[in-house]
Structure 1
Amino acid sequence: MLSALLPAAFVLCWSSGFIGAKLGSDTAAATTLLMWRFLPLAVALLAMLPRTAWRDLTPRTVGRQTLIGALSQTGYLLSVYYAIQLGVSSGTTALIDGVQPLVAGALAGPLLRQYVSRRQWLGLCLGLTGVATVTLADAGSADAAWWAYLVPLLGMLSLVAATFLEGRSRTPVAPRTALTIHCTASAAIFSALGLATGTATPPAAPSFWLATAWLVVLPTFGGYGLYWLILRRSGVAQVNTLMFLMAPVTAVWGALMFGEHFGATTALGLAIGLAAVVIVRRADRPPPGTRPARSPRASAPPRPTGPRAH
């Protein structure tokens, strides 16, 4: 039951980030929304983290976790928000981000020794087809400069880099400690950007603070935390295949919450994405009576302190 609930919760929580961003996009700039998403969160996490959590951490470990947080939170989120501000449609941004599983799958073997089987590759390519089905129609309608399309590509590569940097880490860090370091790094970077661009002052509109609370609870604690937990439990191929479901699930959510159009093309893309997840999950199961061959990193049991630090 846990293996079934965790992926579903991850998809919903990660997709909620796009909904929260839309809730706050009409009231403030991206840097304002991101700054106030992470600043109170970082203060609260630092206050709740016991001093004993820092005892066994070396400066090198803290530096690595800071870099992971900067890549997986700051780099990824800022690129998505900025691309949309530049005129790139959300559908095209989701399509570019959807290439991440293929990039991660191609690099998983040489970097993490988590080799992707032919059946998993079939699922990954099928998942990309599902994402493209939902989002490709939006690409021609966006009014943006050609270089603006490189921005979400940088965000996708930033998240991939954070994934492999964590995967190659040999020093275990308690999940709550890692989450604190990640959010503190993001809060510092977004605060510096907000002050530098004159967008640090938050608006008084209740919708802004509703969106901020939404983004703290669902995408940060839910989506981000479950991303690292599923990565640790199941490996790169499975967690990144679930990313294919983000675009169609967000489309369904947007239709229910904002009355956005949900047609046959979106439904087809959702069905293809679900098929991709089924293929990859079945490919990862060992034959009856055998034990799965897992990498040392993937075979390690989850730590009892909770999920890893979105």
Structure 2
Amino acid sequence: MTDIATPSCRRTNRVWPVFVLVLLEAALVISWSAGFVGVRFAIDHAPIFLILLWRSLASGLILLPFALAIGPPILWRDAVSQMMFGALAMSGYLAGFASAISFGVPTGLVALITDMLPLAVAFLSWPILGQALTLRQWTGSVIGLAGVLIASGWSLDMGDVPLWAYGLPVLGTLSLALATLLQKRSPTSTMPVYQSLCIQCLSAAAIFALFAWHEGGVLPVLDAGFIGGILWLVFVATFAAWSLYYLALRKSSPARVTAVLYLSPPVTMIWAWVMFGEPLSWGIAAGLAVSLFGIIIVASPQKKAHV
């Protein structure tokens, strides 16, 4: 029997997932940007690797009972893969941008460098996935990057900072791009997010503990500012941001998900305005508009030719 309602039903089924994906990506941008704000807040109360240690350790320990009691049994081979992703995605990325800030690299410049993630993904996609961005996606990425430059350019004050410190967020971004692509092609990508996030947090905590010990110790600072910063980083910048990141990655392509993160530097500046009273400018508004235009170009589906 012919189903005459098929075209409209198909349209409805396509619109609803896209709507959900857009909401998911908006929440991702807000929570991802909150990580920069949390680091800025907590860095006044403790050394950077002590902050990263307790952020990762607290996150992993909170998730551990759920990871063990709920969901499929965790196989050793899957756990080892997630440990590798934790070392690349969490340890590499977080240590890269946070250390750069602690060495005096301006936060706006760090946000700008880390948001070149789509270009890093494109650079690594061919050898890892055998894929390459189309001309349309490259064009959208360049426009999105231009918007970030407009919105973040006012804060690019080089200052008296070691030259090598500017390479830290670059290395962190390449580390996250590599982990993103490996996660996409990994057979363990079907592991529930709370399980993979738990393993990655604990493996990152083990790495950060070594650096924190070298900095002076691993014990937490009994200070309201430190505790509040850690809670912010755990529940907003870790549970919300990374869970949404991996969920979006499973529902979409690495190019689209990482391109959406182009909005994080301008949104970070809005966070700073709300929480710290930092002034906004027309440049930020213009950058937001240009970035959004570039993201729409990258994220919009390609039209297939009719035969």
Q: TM-score range by the shorter chain?
A: 0.7 to 0.9
**CA offsets 1:158-197 (integer angstroms, 9 cap, x no match):** 1011111112212332322211110110121122222232
**Aligned partners of 1:19 and 1:76: how far apart in 2?**
16
Give 1:35's aligned residue.
Answer: 53
1:93 aligns with 2:110: yes
1:123 aligns with 2:140: yes
**Aligned partners of 2:225 and 2:70: how far apart in 1?**
38
Give 1:234's aligned residue.
Answer: 252
Alignment of 1:180-259 (within 5 A): 180-259=198-277
Kept after mapping to 2: 8 A contact 1:105/1:236 = no
Alignment of 1:132-211 (within 5 A): 132-171=149-188, 172-211=190-229
Give 2:23's aligned residue.
Answer: 5
**CA offsets 1:26-45 (integer angstroms, 9 cap, x no match):** 11111111111122222222
Displacement of 1:97 after TM fit? Answer: 1.1
Letter in 1 for 2:62: A
Structure 2 counterpart SS, 1:222: helix
**Aligned partners of 1:193 and 1:54: how far apart in 2?**
33
Segments of 5+ residues of structure 1 without an aligned counterpart are 291-310
Letter in 2 for 1:252: I
Give 1:63's aligned residue.
Answer: 80
Displacement of 1:288 after TM fit? Answer: 10
Letter in 1 for 2:216: G
**CA offsets 1:198-233 (integer angstroms, 9 cap, x no match):** 132322221211111111111111111111111121
**Aligned partners of 2:251 and 2:71: how far apart in 1?**
23
Letter in 2 for 1:175: V
**Aligned partners of 1:154 and 1:106: how far apart in 2?**
14
Displacement of 1:46 after TM fit? Answer: 1.8
Percent of aligned pairs sharing the same letter: 36
Segments of 5+ residues of structure 2 without an aligned counterpart are 1-18
Letter in 2 for 1:125: V
State the TM-score, normalizing by the size of structure 1. 0.86
**Aligned partners of 1:15 and 1:9: how far apart in 2?**
10
**Aligned partners of 1:225 and 1:256: how far apart in 2?**
25
**CA offsets 1:242-262 (integer angstroms, 9 cap, x no match):** 111000011111112111121
Letter in 2 for 1:237: A
Letter in 1 for 2:55: R
Give 1:103's aligned residue.
Answer: 120
Give 2:16's aligned residue.
Answer: none
Give 2:8's aligned residue.
Answer: none
Which one of 129, 133, 139 corresponds to residue 112 of structure 1? Answer: 129
Kept after mapping to 1: 8 A contact 2:66/2:194 = no
Displacement of 1:285 after TM fit? Answer: 5.0
**CA offsets 1:129-180 (integer angstroms, 9 cap, x no match):** 1112222343344320111111111111110111111122123323222111
1:18 aligns with 2:36: yes
Kept after mapping to 2: 8 A contact 1:11/1:243 = yes
Q: CA 1:183/1:56 → structure 2, altered by over 3 Å: closer, same or farther? A: closer
State the TM-score, normalizing by the size of structure 2. 0.87
Structure 1 counterpart SS, 2:186: coil
Please say which of residues 42-51 and 214-223 is displaced more in the overlay.
42-51
**Aligned partners of 1:145 and 1:101: how far apart in 2?**
26
For the pair shown, which has the larger CA radius of gyration, 1 or 2?
2
Letter in 1 for 2:162: A
Letter in 2 for 1:123: G
Kept after mapping to 1: 8 A contact 2:111/2:265 = yes
